[in-house]
Amino acid sequence: MKTFNKPLTATIAFGFLMTLSSGFGQTFFISLFNPELRAAFNLSHGDIGGLYFIGTLLSAVAVIWLGKLIDQFDLRIYTAFVNIGLAAACFTIANVNSAATLILAFFMLRLFGQGLSGHTGITTASRVQAEYRGRTVSLVGLGYSTGEIILPFCTVALISAYGWRQTWTVYAVLVILVIAVFAQLLLKKLKAFSRSSHTPSDDPKSWNRSQVMRDRRFWMIAPAIFSPSIISTALFFHQQSLAESNGFTLSHWAAGIAAYSIAAVLSSLFIGVLVDRYSGAQVVRFYLLPFITAVIVAVFLQSFALPFIYYALIGATVGIGTPAVSALWLELYGSAHIGAIRALTHACMVFGTALGPVIFGYLLDAGVNWNNLLAASALWMALASLLLITTTLEWIQSPHRA
């Protein structure tokens, strides 16, 4: 197996830094401040959820347009724009004084954090040589898991010591003085990768975003690719209700999230090697199998270990998706417009994360029990997997791939 050279190592370090910094705009991180935000502005759970929903949807629209600029600008300029935007987002929420400015803060955090920071890291990693791509994306994706592990611990300590506004100010300074500086230093070492822009002549088989949206294969694959964002977010959001339906306390059920992180990391590293050896189209066919198993297990298994098995299986699907789906888009549509294409797919996933909890919430309110919800989720993902398998096999066997 070939080892990484210095530019590739710098690419991995840069991408890891960007996916790590995306944690400042992720739901798991922002939710740590919910009690303080609700108390400061006298908001109910529904109020703050509604404001967050609006900010998230607006960010999904914006990322479609801003995300494609990574194809057109020097990566150093684009990264500086993203880093400065993220620092400004942290500073904005540190100084919010009304519900309206809180929507603005949520919008900026979701756009520059969860949206463009991760987009920059993964897109850059996706553009390396095909024989390294799977492992590179896998390693860069570890920034997400690292953030999930260290950021909550640091944040709780900072809030206890300095208060929530000061904590956000500390993170704003950290983004500018540490993340932005190190990102630029790493980009100097990328050499051939220092520019993200491509022209059609660089990759004559590349599709632009308009062509992708008219491609039948994209819409055949979409249900499988975006199902986890809809269903997993809904399951996380309503985990207390799900835990109670299975006879568990929330603390015991949530303890299984550790298995989720471990499984996501291990499966991503393993699948990255398989993607390099075979292809994203070959590997992605198994993408949803662990998730399908997870929801079936949640219906039938009555065991103390259920939360750990359940979350580990969901984490495995997330781990498979990071390298396999990223490679799939490159294999199907080329590299010249991959930033614009990834911006589109990311926006679709963000819409899914916003809609999933709402759909499940209304169904639960209507009296649909968890066994039926989980069974319907498994059936949906099984049908989506059949479409995915059929479409990728058709493409693999085609003598004129495009």
Q: Is the pLDDT of residue 353 over 70?
A: yes
Position 267 scores a pLDDT of 93
Of the three residues 153, 169, 197, the one that is the final residue of a domain is 197
* 54 within some domain: yes
* 13 within some domain: yes
Give the contacts of 72 (CB within 8 A, at least 6 positions apart).
197
pLDDT level of residue 110 (50, 70, 90 thresholds): very high
pLDDT level of residue 212 (50, 70, 90 thresholds): very high
Q: Give per-residue pLDDT as tens, 284-317.
A: 998 999 999 999 999 998 899 999 999 999 999 9
Interhelix angle 99-108/34-41, nearest 10 degrees? 150
Q: Is the pLDDT of residue 193 over 50?
A: no
Q: Which residue in 271, 380, 282 sits closest to 317, CA to CA?
A: 271
Q: 192 with 236, same domain?
A: no
> Mean pLDDT across the stretch 156-160?
91
Position 249 scores a pLDDT of 87
Q: Which residue in 5, 308, 20, 212 sits closest to 128, CA to CA?
A: 5
Position 3 scores a pLDDT of 58
* 274 within some domain: yes
Cβ–Cβ < 8 Å for 353, 230: yes
* 206 within some domain: yes
Q: 63 with 152, same domain?
A: yes
Query: What is the separation of C-alpha 196 from the centre of its chain, rounded to a whole number of angstroms?
Result: 21
Residue at 180: amino acid letter: A
d(CA 270, CA 71): 29
pLDDT level of residue 4 (50, 70, 90 thresholds): low
Q: Give per-residue pLDDT as tens, 224-272.
A: 999 998 898 888 878 878 888 999 887 888 788 888 888 998 999 999 9
Q: Which has the higher per-residue pLDDT, 116 or 401?
A: 116
Cβ–Cβ < 8 Å for 304, 313: no
Q: Give per-residue pLDDT as tens, 231-240.
A: 988 888 788 7
Q: 150 with 203, same domain?
A: no
Cβ–Cβ < 8 Å for 202, 336: yes
Beta-carbon count within 10 A of 302 CB: 7
Q: 103 with 174, same domain?
A: yes
* 269 within some domain: yes
Q: Give per-residue pLDDT as tens, 61-90.
A: 999 999 999 988 899 999 999 999 999 999
Q: Give per-residue pLDDT as tens, 117-138.
A: 999 999 999 888 878 888 898 8
Using alpha carbons only, what angle is made at residue 63 by residues 58 and 66, rounded to the nearest 5 degrees?
125
pLDDT level of residue 197 (50, 70, 90 thresholds): very low
* 48 within some domain: yes
Q: 228 with 168, same domain?
A: no
Q: 372 with 392, same domain?
A: yes
Q: 128 with 212, same domain?
A: no
Structural domain span for residue 94: 1-197
Position 196 scores a pLDDT of 45
CATH number at residue 78: 1.20.1250.20
d(CA 104, CA 265): 33
Q: Is the pLDDT of residue 195 over 50?
A: no
Q: 172 with 279, same domain?
A: no
Helix (H, G, I), strand (E, B), or coil: what is residue 3? coil
For residues 72, 59, 64, 176, the Cα torsion angle rounded to the nearest 10 degrees is: 20
Cβ–Cβ < 8 Å for 381, 292: yes
Q: 141 with 204, same domain?
A: no
Q: 24 with 116, same domain?
A: yes
* 26 within some domain: yes
Q: 185 with 286, same domain?
A: no
pLDDT level of residue 366 (50, 70, 90 thresholds): confident
Helices within 278-305 (DSSP H only): 280-283, 289-300
* 401 within some domain: no
Of the three residues 148, 170, 197, the one that is the final residue of a domain is 197
Q: Is the pLDDT of residue 190 over 80?
A: no
Percent of the chain topping pLDDT 90: 49
Query: What total of structural domains would you count in the chain?
Result: 2
Q: 47 with 139, same domain?
A: yes
Of the three residues 135, 170, 197, the one that is the final residue of a domain is 197
